[in-house]
Structure 1
Amino acid sequence: MIEVALLVTLKARAGKEKEVAEFLRSARSIVEQEEGTRAWFALQFDESTFGVFDVFPDDEARQTHLSGGVGQALAAQGAELFSVEPNIQNLDVLAFKLPGESV
């Protein structure tokens, strides 16, 4: 079951777009180790705007993810890579479709 999600919007510093894209690609290996993260997507909206959308079974799993490896890496590299603080939105999931899961 999936009940909650995160939508994180990231704005790359000028000239750091490729580094942000690579950072997000490399984060996949960290997220794969998180049992509570049911689905995770790294996104690029335009040349300098990136995002992450992920879903969780409950708020405990969401909070574990936020304090986990990707969150720590964002905090460590954020000032270098991003022009503004990440915009983190907590969302409730109303319905979903994932392989092997049902509402």
Structure 2
Amino acid sequence: MTTVAGVIVFKAKPGLGEEVARRVAAALPAVETERGTLLWLVLRSNADADRIFLVDLFDGEQSLTNHMNGDAASLIFATVPGLLAEDPEMHPSTVVAAKTTR
């Protein structure tokens, strides 16, 4: 099982959650070219519309490093920070349990 994951939490300025989600999601074409990124989700909280979660799963540490230094991350960090109420929370993570479909 792949165990390398990441979660980034973006807290948008009040009322800008939809725009932050749109800008983060705009990186999808770049992510689609990354061989080692197995899962990439952009989620907008139903409990707080100004909180956006980016969840990803990688086939190894090198793929995580490549992703964080790649076009998707560059696009996000070039277009999103001015809309945020605080710095993004980065949570490098280890998968403990998972259910997948294939």
**TM-score bucket of the superposed structures, by smaller chain:** 0.7 to 0.9
**Deviation string, structure 1 residues 48-78 (Cα, Å, up to 9, x no partner):** 0001011011111111111112211222123
1:11 matched to 2:11: yes
| TM-align CA RMSD | 1.5
Q: What is the CA–CA distance in structure 1 between the aligned matches of 2:18 and 2:5, rounded to whole Å?
A: 26
4+ residue segments displaced more than 6 Å: none
What aligned pairs does 1:1-103 form with structure 2 within 5 A after superposition? 1-45=1-45, 46-100=48-102
Does the Cα contact within 8 Å between 1:2 and 1:96 map onto a contact in 2?
Answer: no
Q: Secondary structure at the match of 1:21?
A: helix
Unmatched segments (≥5 aa) in structure 1: none
Contact 1:44 1:50 in 2 (8 A): yes
| Structure 2 unpaired stretches of 5+ | none
Q: How many residues align?
A: 100
**Partners in 2 of 1:7 and 1:55 — Cα distance?**
9
Q: Distance in 1 between matches of 2:23 and 2:80?
A: 11
TM-score under structure 1 length normalisation: 0.85
| % identity of equivalent residues | 28
Q: Using the alignment, how far apart are the partners of 1:71 and 1:24 within structure 2?
A: 9
